[in-house]
Amino acid sequence: MIGSLMMRVAAVILVVGMIWGIEMGIRQNFAMAAAHAHFNLVGGVLLFVFGLYYRLVPAAGGSALAKWQGWLHIAGSILFPAGVAVVIGKGEAFIVLPIIGSLIVLAAMALFALIVFRTSRA
């Protein structure tokens, strides 16, 4: 089920994100704070919330659309903050990476909204 996968991936992302934050704090170099925040919030928190919804509403989590949404969000939640980090570290020449990543996340969020409207009770 995609919900369980999303929650497991979110847990891994959050552990990696916490280690990344600790590393920044130890070095007292917070240049990557924006990438770190997007990684934790988009990759960890949102992914976990989506997974919880899919577990709580099995009709939503069992759909093919949910699988597409889950995989899109997983890909986008890694590419988006990684792209932000590359732009911070290497410059504006790589701006296409976070743009593509953010558009993938937006598409996944739009799919999730559609799934919620189709499966939630008023």
pTM, full prediction: 0.90
The parent domain of residue 17 ranges over 2-119
User: What CA–CA distance (Å, rounded) separates 10 from 113?
Assistant: 19
User: What CA–CA distance (Å, rounded) separates 121 from 91?
Assistant: 47
Distances (CA, A) of 79 to 23, 45, 54, 70, 115: 21, 16, 23, 14, 23
When divided into structural domains, the chain yields a total of: 1
Render each residue's pLDDT in the chain as its tens digit; 122 residues. Answer: 899 999 999 999 999 999 999 999 999 999 999 999 999 999 999 999 999 999 999 999 999 999 999 999 999 999 999 999 999 999 999 999 999 999 999 999 999 999 999 998 75
